[in-house]
């Protein structure tokens, strides 16, 4: 049983919080060896990839079209969280369809997503699809919906949903990842 050791107090800067997801990075769960959990807070400070060739891949979505949510439940003494991250990628086309299809056909994904929320000059990021209880078994699966509306100014694109189940709340990621398109990306402080 966990002992309560932390106050949850609101500071003035909590009044100025910012939502919004900035960037989303995806990797196959089998390309992850481990995350390093901080001993002092609910965060990860590093990720170890299976090989030096493994990288995170970015999925860009339009501003204010990315959404994360979770719903917790407690049954038979266990706690779990149903998680969902949605990203809208505009304009249906073969290159995007191929990339999105690779997410759908994977055997599980781990996602690091960056938010606009910051306390310093660095944005916060969170890990979805990995936790300290389930490890890689918390990996998410992807599904996509397509829309091509009739009117000229209608929607045209893919909504990609990464969904899964975790045994813990998301951990903040304070560290760096190697990406395919952006090189080394650092989060937090």
Instruction: Report the half-sphere exposure of 65 (CA within 13 A, side-chain side).
Output: 15
Classified as helix, coil or strand, 65 is: coil
pTM of this structure: 0.89
Predicted local confidence at residue 51, as pLDDT:
95
Predicted local confidence at residue 1, as pLDDT:
55
Quote the percentage of the chain above a pLDDT of 70: 93
Question: How many separate helices (H) and strands (E) can be counted in the chain?
Answer: 1, 13
């Amino acid at each position: 049983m966990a002992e309560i050791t932390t106050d949850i107090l609101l500071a003035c800067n909590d009044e100025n919080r910012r939502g919004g997801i900035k960037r989303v990075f995806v990797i196959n769960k089998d390309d992850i060896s481990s995350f390093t959990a901080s001993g002092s807070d609910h965060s990860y400070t590093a990720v170890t990839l299976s090989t030096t060739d493994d990288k995170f891949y970015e999925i860009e979505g339009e501003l204010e079209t990315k959404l994360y949510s979770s719903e917790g439940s407690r049954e038979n003494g266990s706690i779990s969280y149903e998680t969902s991250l949605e990203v809208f990628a505009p304009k249906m086309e073969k290159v995007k369809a191929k990339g999105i299809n690779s997410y759908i056909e994977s055997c599980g994904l781990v996602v690091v997503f960056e938010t606009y929320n910051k306390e310093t000059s660095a944005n916060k990021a969170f890990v979805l699809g990995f936790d300290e209880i389930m490890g890689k078994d918390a990996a998410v699966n992807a599904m996509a919906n397509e829309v091509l509306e009739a009117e000229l100014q209608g929607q045209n694109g893919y909504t990609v949903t990464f969904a899964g189940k975790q045994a813990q709340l998301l951990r903040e990621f304070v560290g760096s990842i190697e990406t395919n398109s952006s090189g080394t990306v650092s989060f937090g402080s």
